[in-house]
Amino acid sequence: MRASEPTISGLLEFDDTVTAVLDAIPQPIIIKDELSRFRFLNQSACLLLGKSRAELSGGTDHDILPMADADRIRNMDRHVFATGEDVSFEEEITFPDGTTSTFVTQKHRIEVDRTGSHKDKLVVVTTRNVTARRKAEAKLRASEEHYRSLVELNPQVPWTADPFGSVLEAGPRWKVITGFDPAEALGNGWAKAIHPADLPATQRLWSKSIATGDPLDVEYRLATTMGGYRWFRSRAAARKTQDGRVIRWYGTVEDVDEVHTSLEALKESEARFRSIADDAPVMIWVADEHGDATYHSRLWHETTGKTTDQASGSGWAGAVHPHDRSVVIETTSRVFRRQEDVRLEYRLRRADGDWAWVIDVGRPRFAPDGKFLGYVGIALDITERRKTELAREEADALVRSVFDSTPDCMRLLDPEGQPLLINEAGRRLFAGEGSGENGPRLETASLSRAKADEEYAQVQQGKTTRGESSICDAGGTVRHMDIITAPVIASSGNDIRMLEIWRDVTEARVARDEAIAARLEAEHSSDRLSRVLESTMDSVLVVNPHWEITYFNTRARDLLELDERAEGSSLWSLFPVDENSLFGVSYRRVMTERVGTTFEEYLPARGIWFEIHAAPTSEGMSIFFRDITARRNLERERLHAQRQLHHMARHDAVTGLPNLQLFWETFGDLMNEQPGSRTAILSLDLDGFKAVNDTQGHSAGDLLLRSAAARLRGCVEKQDVVARSGADEFAVVRTGISNDDDINTLAQEVLETLGEPYDLQGNQIDLGVSVGIAFAPEDGQTADQVLKAADIARNRAKAHGRGTCMKFAPAMDADIQASQRIKGSLRRALDNDEMELFYQPLVNLHTGKVTACETLVRGPTRKWGPCRPRSSSRWPRRRD
């Protein structure tokens, strides 16, 4: 280092550039002479000691620290001056204000030319404050003890198995439950503890999971040490590689005997309840603890005309008047959260299209142990009372990934910030090896609770947040982290999860400033440059105009596997690429145009992705580079995961066909790409599917749907769009229609192909198909309008019997509206006593005498005049 002759108590004098560089280093640096006097302090050291450089100049540690601490430090300085050995130690220092901090300090002796024959000996002291890290380590030890107790005291039996289903480990509670040693459960030994009647089904489900990689969830009876059997539930999930290959199974065995017994009793109780409720003169409903409807009485279905499937879950809300719907949903959601009684008045759509005012009263249900089970309620028709109390309000309401291959910590959180999934890098970062499959429960690692809540609130608004923070990893090392938090959006547009990425930028944060300072200093002093470059976290090369390497630091030597003979060799021997490669073009541009450049490129000879910063110097060119292979791999994997999530949000999980969300988007794109083009929509319904689904189960129903979807895809052309639009409904879009015969041919092929018998697990299933056709633009301008028209035509075709196809005609919709109006008028006429009796004599044409009399009932309507018998007589016969 270049310094002028200092005074006895003054500072070392540096030029402005050196001083600025040293002040820019965030780590405190102090230089002392042989009398332990301060000869230089950078800005970070002054901030640490709480005084200016001028105040500290010429002083000693006795001026700022207690005597005992100052004496100890001075003795350490003397040792370094005497031996020339570097010293690194950790110490706790108490400042004059009473505060105590822990520091890791390094001391190094240097000699600086003062005159031609005399050298000054100085000690360079660097230190860093590790107080926060030590406190975090103490918290981490307490956290580890907590989670260890949590695992050991868990009443469930954890187990693991290899990819072929052979059990590798079983928890110690296996012996407590069954009396068999856990070692006896390994391989397939667990089977001897299962009830013989339950074993075949258990083995079948386990074999299926092993073959498909799907999670296991099975209940069976285990022999117990008390004699007899108890019901247990075993669940397992597979840990997979990125390409989907199973590498390990993780599962638990849980005692559900009491739950199983209670469920059996509950089923019997529910059967009795349904029998009584269906005969009641009021509409009765039941909802579960999540607010989803599970039952409506017969009177509710007769009143609304909705089926059980249509009313289950939140489907019942479709029968509520649109102006009342939002208030009803909001109120029920609020009282469900509070578990309070609820009382509502709203309009309910009758099967005939008219609206009935009802009063709906619900009360929460609780188990004997106090557990919240849901609600039960009754709805009473109060239309007469509310005849003059019409209130209208309008509103709208509707509200896994693979991480272990990435070196960055990635966490999947729920909307409240609760970790659901963490990758292997995250477990190493926060809790070390040996944590559970998804890692321990993680609270916010470095931010305050208020700050974490603020960031999560922004993510819940659909925003992506990014910031930096410092943490202590499982080994106690302080790491600077770049934290990115982003929402995971469902197909409905709602945030359903949050994705957090923790990237270690410790090296980048420290090295970047040091590398920049080193590059500027290189033009003035190669000695100082060498020291700075050796401390940087980047790999550094310096070449002359002849492309000969004149300098490389330790990191470059290690990364490129160089030896001392590399100095003076050609740069191109390290980067064996042709002159047209990005390396060749960029380096030559720096040399010829004297401008800096930054780029990222893959070097096949080394198998490494490099981030390169090259800049011209007075001696040629300096190259700063680092290995970014891990980061590039992560970015590629993250892009793959995003594409998977996008596909899942827009496709049906059972058939793999596009869902309605993608159907609407595709239809809109087709209309925009081909304005004025004629487009057809075919609406299909599988007649008899519900009976198969009800009698043979949902798995059989799903298999049948997949078979039908495969047949349907075989009927259409490549450019056609096929989607699943309902439980047993499909839709097909074809654009550029020039001749209706093409659509008629397609419809006939669909009827014949989907109407062929299906082989379902050895049983032959016959299904009918009904097809409705509508065209754009004549039957509608939007996808919703055209699909509605096609659905009307399909329903009309279905009324004519299976295997029928009909095109939409405006009269179909007009007939439906007209019949609804007539039924409404007759109902009001009956309610208001507006029906009139007419007596008509019957005359014998031979004798001319009146032989009898018939009675006719007629009722006027408010808009169309008296309703003729021929147009209205069929409706009273259909009234309940």
User: 320-336, pLDDT tens digit by residue?
Assistant: 999 999 999 999 889 88
More confident residue, 768 or 3: 768
- For residue 87, the cross-strand partners are 107
611, 546: one domain: yes
Give the model's pLDDT for residue 276. Answer: 66
Confidence label for 3 from pLDDT (cuts 50, 70 and 90): very low
Of 381, 400, 432, the domain-final residue: 381
Name the domain boundary from 225, 255, 285.
255
For range 372-379, the mean pLDDT: 88
- pLDDT of 205: 94
Do 165 and 41 sit in the same domain of this protein?
no
Separation of first and last alpha carbons in the chain: 104
Mean pLDDT of 564-572: 80
Q: Examine the domain organization and report whether 779 and 825 are in the same domain.
A: no
SS (H, E, C) 104-119: EEEEEEEEEECCCCCE
Q: Are 730 and 694 in the same domain?
A: yes
For residue 213, the one-letter residue type is: G
Do 235 and 290 reside in the same domain of the chain? Answer: no
Estimate to the nearest angstrom the gap between the alpha carbon of 437 and the chain centroid.
Answer: 18
For 100-213, strand residue ranges (E) read 100-113, 119-129, 157-161, 167-170
Contact 773, 792 (CB under 8 A): no
Looking up tokens 């039941």, which residue turns up?
286
Q: What is the pLDDT of residue 558?
A: 80
Whether a cis peptide bond, with omega within 30° of 0, leads into 96 is no
Does 21 share its domain with 101? yes
Report how far apart, in Å, the C-alpha atoms of 53 and of each of 4, 45, 96, 666 are. 18, 9, 18, 69
Q: What is the mean pLDDT of the chain?
A: 80
- Which of 136-150, 440-454, 772-786 shows the lowest mean pLDDT across its residues? 440-454
Long-range contacts of 355-361 (CB under 8 A, 24+ apart): 355/321, 356/303, 356/381, 356/383, 357/381, 357/382, 357/383, 357/385, 357/386, 357/387, 357/389, 358/283, 358/382, 358/383
With cut-offs at 50, 70 and 90, classify the pLDDT of residue 877: very low
SS3 labels along 496-510: EEEEEEEEECHHHHH
Let me know whether 803 and 754 are in one domain: yes
Q: Which range of residues forms the domain containing residue 230?
A: 155-255
- For residue 600, the domain's CATH number is 3.30.450.20
The tokens for 660 are: 């309605």
Question: Do 500 and 512 fall into the same domain?
Answer: no
Ramachandran quadrant class, 476 (left: phi over 0; alpha: psi -120 to 50; beta: rest): left
pLDDT in tens, 332-343: 889 888 888 988
Q: How many domains does the chain have?
A: 7
Report the percent of the chain where pLDDT is more than 90. Answer: 15
Look at residue 454 and tell me if it is in a domain. Answer: yes
Is the confidence at residue 58, as pLDDT, over 80? Answer: yes
pLDDT in tens, 243-279: 999 999 999 999 888 888 777 766 766 766 666 666 6
What pTM value is reported for the model? 0.32
What SS3 class is residue 816? helix
